[in-house]
Amino acid sequence: MKRTAWILLAAAAAVGGLFLLADMLGNGIFLEFLSEQLFYMQEYTDTTGVLHQYLSPDWSRIKLLLFLLTMLTVGGCIIIVRLQVRKAAFQHKADMQKAVEKALHQFLEERDFYLPEGYGGIEALLLQIRAKEQKQLDLLEKQTRQKHDLISYLAHDMKTPLASVIGYLNLLNDVKDIPQPQKEAYLRITLDKADRLEGLIDEFFDITRFNLHDIVISRGKLQLDFLLEQLKEQFYPILRAQHKQLHLDIAEGAVCYGDADKLARAFNNILKNAISYSYPNTEIHVQVTCDETNTVLKFLNQGDEIPKQKLDIIFEKFYRLDQARSTASGGAGLGLAIAKEIIEAHDGHIYAQSNLQETVFIVELPLHPSVEEHTAVQS
């Protein structure tokens, strides 16, 4: 404002100086013009008969002139003030733009950044984005490290069964007079080691191709008793070898809405985990119930209690609860992670409960298709 006042005073002084200069150059023509416009001649005769003349101000014209000058001054002030405000606004906008651009460059370069006052909401949003990105990077780094470690474990574990297979085959090939019972024993061991090696190779492929984010689900109405009976028959040799039993308790007419192949793989992984971590000579139970909206499957086994703080992380990729036991059984820490991905792709949920007596994996699946899917099918 002080600057504006000085500008007005300077402008007034300049106008006054120009007026006086022009009047001097015009031999007083401007002052003479003003006097003719603002004053008029009056006459009177005194008592002695002498005629007197004098100039009298024309107040109406003077007031009009003052009004015009006032309006011009006020208008000039308004114009100058508006120009100054606009200039200041443009300057402020330019400064803000430079500050924001600088902050965004610092943000992209992952450096500390500060936004001007009034941009707190944007700053908070950028900080949230950075925190989310950092969390994703940390998770990716963790999974990459786990994947690398697990590949190293599997590569190491492959050497043992492979060496056994080669050793027994060389023995059978080199020694011609091996007794038949001993030869059959060697063949059984070789076959077991080959099966073990095949399982490790399957786990290896699971690690390299595991990506279910783009999983395609072909949904339909599934009869769960038929699906689970097939899995029971599939696991029979393993259960028999470990002296374990699998019992199915399925509600009559139990169904769900989903992809048969994908859900079979998810249930297979859960059952495999239950068998691997259950005590010898115990029973695994699968219970299936339905309500108005969901089908609930419970996989129960008797084994060591899972610590409460690990009930969530057992579903993470490449996580193994027991390094030694899962290595022995060929587990890569992907089974439950894959099951979780598949079940959540069906709009379902999976979680675990564990105590000293038993561990339960609970799967909840929608009994009916969602409204969007039902509409899509009808169209």
- Read off the CATH number of the domain in which 283 is found: 3.30.565.10
Task: Let me know whether 320 and 346 are in one domain.
Answer: yes
23 by Cβ neighbours in 10 Å (0-12 / 13-18 / 19+) ranks as: middle
Range of the domain at 151: 138-209
Task: Let me know whether 193 and 234 are in one domain.
Answer: no
Q: Which residue has the higher pLDDT, 168 or 242?
A: 242
Asked if residue 162 belongs to a domain, the reply is: yes
Task: Let me know whether 254 and 289 are in one domain.
Answer: yes
For residue 63, name the pLDDT band (cuts at 50, 70, 90).
Answer: confident
Helices 2-25/59-108 angle, 10° precision:
140
Asked if residue 130 belongs to a domain, the reply is: no
Determine the pLDDT at residue 197.
79
User: Residue 194's domain is classified under what CATH number?
Assistant: 1.10.287.130
Which DSSP string do the residues of 350-362 spell out, in sequence order? EEEEE-SS-EEEE
Query: Which residues 6+ apart lie within 8 Å of 330 measured at CB?
Result: 157, 196, 199, 200, 202, 203
Task: Let me know whether 280 and 328 are in one domain.
Answer: yes
Asked if residue 126 belongs to a domain, the reply is: no
Task: Let me know whether 204 and 226 are in one domain.
Answer: no
Q: Which residues pair with 200 in a beta bridge?
A: none
Q: Which of 209, 239, 267 is the last residue of a domain?
A: 209
Asked if residue 241 belongs to a domain, the reply is: yes
| Count of structural domains within the chain | 3
Task: Let me know whether 77 and 186 are in one domain.
Answer: no
Task: Let me know whether 332 and 358 are in one domain.
Answer: yes
How many angstroms separate the CA atoms of 285 and 343, rounded? Answer: 20
Given a cut of 80, whether residue 267 has pLDDT beyond it is yes
Tell me the two tokens of residue 260: 């048969």
Asked if residue 127 belongs to a domain, the reply is: no
Q: Which of 209, 235, 258 is the last residue of a domain?
A: 209
Task: Let me know whether 285 and 253 are in one domain.
Answer: yes
Answering whether pTM is above 0.85, one says: no
Phi, psi for 111 (deg, rounded to 5): -110, 170
Residue with tokens 């200039």, as numbered in its chain: 87
pLDDT tens profile 222-247: 889 999 999 998 888 889 888 999 99
Asked if residue 133 belongs to a domain, the reply is: no
Asked if residue 204 belongs to a domain, the reply is: yes
Tell me the two tokens of residue 133: 């990105």
Type of residue at 344: E
Contacts 24+ apart (CB under 8 A), 147-152: 147/207, 147/317, 147/318, 150/207, 150/318, 150/320, 150/332, 150/333, 151/204, 151/207
Task: Let me know whether 313 and 255 are in one domain.
Answer: yes
Task: Let me know whether 78 and 152 are in one domain.
Answer: no
Mean per-residue pLDDT of the chain:
77
Q: Which residue has the higher pLDDT, 29 or 332?
A: 29
Asked if residue 50 belongs to a domain, the reply is: no
Given a cut of 80, whether residue 5 has pLDDT beyond it is no
Task: Let me know whether 181 and 293 are in one domain.
Answer: no
Beta-strand runs (E) in the chain: 39-45, 51-57, 220-223, 245-250, 255-258, 283-290, 294-301, 349-354, 359-366
Task: Let me know whether 301 and 347 are in one domain.
Answer: yes
Most confident of 39-43, 71-75, 95-99, 104-108: 71-75
